[in-house]
Amino acid sequence: MGMSVTISAATEQDAEQIFKLQYLCFQGEAALYGNYRIDPLVQSLDSLRQEVAADCVFVARLGDEVVGSVRGSTTEDGAAAIGKLCVHPRLQGHGIGARLLRAVEAALAEERGATRFRLHTGHRSEGNLRLYRRVGYQTVGTFDSPDGVPMILLEKPAGTYVATA
């Protein structure tokens, strides 16, 4: 490949690339559930720009191209909600998702005082579940998302960085 992937905080200028990447990456999830109305596919660019401005957003870059992204925000109960983790399909399986998770977790704990992290994924999303469990998340519940997809809720305490190899 010749270049290495770097992880950094997203900027306002990254919003459009994140938007396009998110749309590409969540096609597989939509197909898995036969539901193309899942939140990442119907989110507006303006809404995403607001998240980049207000939330803790990280991107993975290969040169000038955004090839991964993740978002996090703190909730009233001291937890941090992490979501919309995505890595370009051609680069999946190389640890980029785990690196993005570590970056957003560290920032949420250090800058926003998060005491635990919470995320969710669809019940059929085995690859996502493997990654989340490998980095220390445990299932704490289930729920149906507003778009009707059965979800698994996972959580872990802040400071729990399990090896990703």
Angle at 161 between CA 62 and CA 91, to 5 degrees: 25
pLDDT at 148: 87
pTM: 0.92
pLDDT at 2: 56
pLDDT at 165: 42
Contacts of 31 (CB under 8 A, 6+ apart): none
pLDDT at 147: 85
**CB–CB of 117/158 below 8 Å?**
yes
One digit per residue, the tens of pLDDT, for the chain of length 165 reads 457 999 999 999 999 999 999 999 999 999 999 999 999 999 999 999 999 999 999 999 999 999 999 999 998 888 999 999 999 999 999 999 999 999 999 999 999 999 999 999 999 999 999 999 999 999 999 999 998 899 999 999 998 765 544
pLDDT at 30: 94
